[in-house]
Chains A and B, each alone.
Chain A
Amino acid sequence: EVQLVQSGAEVKKPGGSLKISCKGFGYDFGDYFIAWVRLLPGKGLEWMGTIYPGDSDTTYSPSFRGQVTISADKSITTAYLQWSSLKASDTAMYFCARLGLNSRYFDSWGQGTQVTVSS
Chain B
Amino acid sequence: QSVLTQPPSVSGAPGQRVTISCTGGSSNIGAGYDVHWYQQLPGVAPKLLIYGNTNRPSGVPDRFSGSKSGTSASLAITGLQAEDEADYYCQSFDSSLTGLVFGGGTKLAVL
Contacts and interface: CB of A to CB of B under 8 A. Distances in A.
Interface of A: 35, 43-47, 50, 59, 61-62, 95, 97, 100, 103-112
A26 to B, nearest CB: 15
Contacts of A110: 45
Nearest to A4: B45
B36 A105 contact: yes
Given A45-B89, A104-B34, A109-B45, A59 B99 contact: yes
Nearest to B48: A107
B51 A44 contact: no
The 9 closest A-B pairs by CB, nearest first: A44-B105, A105-B36, A109-B45, A47-B100, A45-B102, A105-B51, A44-B104, A104-B93, A61-B99
A35 B51 contact: no
Main secondary structure of the interface of B (DSSP, over half): strand
Nearest to A106: B48
Interface residues of B, number: 27
B103 to A, nearest CB: 7
A43 B104 contact: yes
B111 interface: no
B12 interface: no
A105 B89 contact: no
Contact of A106 (B33, B38, B44, B92): B38
Contacts of A105: 34, 36, 48, 51-52, 91
10 contacts: A43-B104, A44-B2, A44-B102, A44-B104, A45-B38, A45-B46, A47-B101, A59-B98, A104-B34, A104-B92
Nearest to B55: A105
A108 B101 CA distance: 17
B73 to A, nearest CB: 13
B47 interface: yes
Nearest to B87: A44
Contacts of A47: 99-102
Contacts of A95: 45-46
B57 interface: yes
